[in-house]
Chains A and B, each alone.
Chain A
């Protein structure tokens, strides 16, 4: 389990990686041959910034845009609802109603 690959790159054009296991703060990842120390928990299946991303920049996964950055994002940062959004229709959580 500990030796499991940390993340996967789905397409060469992508500016994010997908975690292959739950990644913990303090863990050092190798992102494009550079060591990056994680500051956040990144669960299995979540996205990690592969490059520095500017606010408004398209997030690329599978080589295609999946939305835009809401803020500047640094390499190794968790990329999710707090710092990116859909270019089509807003996402919702359980807190959306009630």
Chain B
């Protein structure tokens, strides 16, 4: 396995050029640039809001300096609140090629498109000079998420991902599981797995926060399709989702944009701090994927029972189908068939090994199925977070 060595020492398994719109008003021009650039690995991401938001800036800084990203073009309308100067400075300091185009200064759609195509060609030219170096499994960061869960998710795909997480953690890799709102009911079991009592207390606190937040919102993290698929309650869905984490000790608790300090298993707290202000914590699966990527995830293991087709910008998404009937309908969108566990054709261990091998192949450059289909979904919305407390990362090395 080889990776693109970045200035912070991390290595990327892809070399993407991001075109970033900084307000919805710049979205269309950014898309035209991506569509017409004619270069491989040019991807569209952005933030729709006009009001500034510290979380959105931090996440965008993390994404634009993600190891899978080699260069960045920022697209501003000109009057929006996003701090484009600070974002550009962060990317420049990382050693990556970066340029900013302001549509109001360029003179509108056509002129910005022409300038954007010239810019992506320049940035792409510099990115092509970036060579690759050897990369080991203990340098890999893997996130997991479930979407479109049903009664099969928690008995096939999720425990199989948990098994692959055990294998990855044993190799020294960093694994992240998340969605504290989808773990409501599992707090006591998670606390027992924390590497220190202080970390256990921090986990308890964020789980209380999650329960309060969703209660205020009036809906749990539970979609109508979950019930049609046989799941009845939030805590039932939680127990199934929880099995994705495997059996490793929990080494730390992080928030979106925090980078795990070393290998091991980490819980990502995605529920905003303070009074509920901007609505549901994450409005769809891709919002969670973006947060995992902002924590450095090189690739995402996505389990689904009802069936999902999404991928992501920046980091490849590997899809593991839990339900054998769904797999037969949607095999063209799936990387791994965990439904074989339900039909008695494979064990959780066998499918866990398949997922591990698939992750290794995709990390080495093989496209995942959603990646080959061109899926590059992306969404970033308003949120508020306080920094994590000192007890959250007990294994962090003292600098």
Distance from B345 Cβ to chain A, minimum over Cβ atoms (Å) = 10
List residues of A whose CB falls within 8 A of some B CB: 4-5, 8, 10, 18-20, 43-47, 59, 61-62, 64-67, 79-81, 84-94, 96
Closest 9 CB pairs of A and B: A45-B151, A46-B230, A66-B236, A86-B233, A45-B230, A67-B233, A89-B220, A94-B224, A45-B152
A59 and B236 alpha carbons, distance in the complex (Å): 10
B85 interfacial by beta-carbon distance below 8 Å: no
- Stretch touching chain A among B6-14, B107-115, B127-135, B211-219: B211-219
Q: Can you report 25 A-B residue pairs in the complex whose CB atoms are below 8 A from each other?
A: A8-B342, A44-B151, A44-B230, A45-B150, A45-B231, A62-B239, A62-B243, A66-B236, A66-B239, A67-B233, A81-B232, A84-B233, A85-B232, A85-B233, A86-B220, A88-B185, A88-B235, A89-B184, A89-B220, A91-B226, A92-B220, A93-B224, A93-B227, A96-B219, A96-B224
Which B residues form the contact surface with A (CB < 8 A)? 150-152, 154-155, 184-186, 189, 211, 214-215, 219-220, 222, 224, 226-227, 229-236, 239-240, 243, 305, 323-325, 342-344
Which residues on the A side are within 8 Å of B325 (C-beta)? 44
Contacts of B185 in A (CB 8 A): 64-66, 88
Q: How many interface contacts (CB-CB < 8 Å) are there between A and B?
A: 107
Q: Determine whether the beta carbon of B342 is less than 8 Å from that of A20.
A: yes
Contact B234 A89 (CB under 8 A): yes
**Is the beta-carbon distance between B234 and A86 smaller than 8 angstroms?**
yes
Q: Beyond A10-B155, A47-B232, A80-B232, is A92–B150 a contact (Cβ under 8 Å)?
A: no
- Give the residue name and chain of the B residue nearest to A84 (CB): B232
Q: Measured between C-beta atoms, what is the minimum distance from A80 to chain B in Å?
A: 5
Q: Which residues of B contact A87 (CB under 8 A)?
A: 233, 235
Closest-by-CB residue of A relative to B221 is A89
Which A residues are CB-close (under 8 A) to B343?
A: 4, 20
The complex places the Cα of A70 from the Cα of B219 at a distance, in Å, of 20
Report the minimal beta-carbon distance from B156 to chain A, rounded to whole angstroms.
10
Q: Cα distance A96–B222 when bound, in Å? A: 12
CB of B220 within 8 A of CB of A47, answer no
Contacts of B227 in A (CB 8 A): 80-81, 91, 93
Q: Determine which of A18, A59, A92 lies in contact with B151 in the assembled complex, contact meaning CB atoms within 8 Å.
A: A18
Smallest CB–CB gap between A17 and chain B, Å?
Answer: 11
Chain B: CB-nearest residue to A42: B230
Question: In the complex, which residues of chain B have a beta carbon less than 8 angstroms from the beta carbon of A10?
Answer: 155
Taking the closest CB of chain A, its distance from the CB of B214, in whole angstroms, is 6
Q: Are A89 and B211 in contact (CB under 8 A)?
A: yes
Q: Tell me the bound Cα distance from A31 to B240 in angstroms.
A: 23
B232 touches A66 (CB 8 A): yes
- How far, in angstroms, from A87 to B231 measured CA to CA in the complex? 14
* Contact between chains at B235 and A8 (CB < 8 Å): no
Across-interface contacts of A79 in B (CB, < 8 A): 232
Q: Which residues of chain B are near A64, meaning CB under 8 Å? A: 185-186, 189, 235, 239
Quick check: A61 and B224 within 8 Å, CB to CB?
A: no
Q: By the criterion CB–CB under 8 Å, are A47 and B234 in contact?
A: no
Instruction: For the complex formed, measure the closest distance between the CB of B382 and the CB atoms of chain A, giving whole angstroms.
Output: 22
CB distance from B206 to the nearest CB of A (A): 15
Minimal beta-carbon separation of A84 from chain B (angstroms) = 6
With A and B bound together, what is the CA distance between A11 and B324 in angstroms?
A: 22
A44 touches which of B152, B234, B236 (Cβ 8 Å): B152
Residues of B within 8 Å of A80, CB to CB, are 227, 230, 232
